[in-house]
Chain A
């Protein structure tokens, strides 16, 4: 089966660092995406990991461990505009098609 777990809510302080974890179980892992979604808006792409290790992109970094079925999104120097939901999505290639399976999302609130 397929299962993606991430915390429902997190809070953090402006200027701090926050780590959002995602664990997954899937039979045909073929990459992991992180998306950001502000309330009432569409999800927007943040990062993609297919190999183990850390991918850094400005204030955001994403890590993947395929053996552990684990990823995290690291947000540095938090800003108020980072208050949003963060969606972990696993690409599953089983069944002959690379479908995207989304977690329920982590709602991050950044406080002054």
Chain B
């Protein structure tokens, strides 16, 4: 199994509070991704990173920011959580973006009340 961990694994928070999710890898892969998974929508890309301090937006980036100060860590921040951000969040890593598969972390279940 690829060495990817996510923390926390479960979190319940209130509307309007900031939340930070952490993804940590031990594979030294260049590319890291944050997805959210909701029933009926499949996995949707929030943000991705193609190197330290190099990040870009995905298709559902509104309300989210990311940072990558080290190769192994990719942080996802919800500046002011809303109920629509209740979801399961997956981090993924890959060596490249051609035929390279993405390896997924175990996920974080976030509930915003």
Contact = CB atoms under 8 A, between A and B. Distances in A.
Same complex origin of A and B:
yes
Interface of A: 4, 30-31, 33, 41-45, 48, 50, 87, 89, 91, 97-100, 102-105
Contacts of A99: 45, 48, 58
Does more than half of chain A's interface fall in helix, strand or loop, or is it mixed? strand
A51 B40 CA distance: 29
Interface of B: 35, 40-45, 48, 56, 58, 90, 97-99, 101-107
A91 B100 CA distance: 10
Nearest to B56: A97
A43 B104 contact: yes
A87 B40 CA distance: 12
Contacts of A91: 97-98
Contacts of B101: 33, 45, 48
Contact of A42 (B41, B42, B98, B106): B106
A89 to B, nearest CB: 8
A5 B105 CA distance: 25
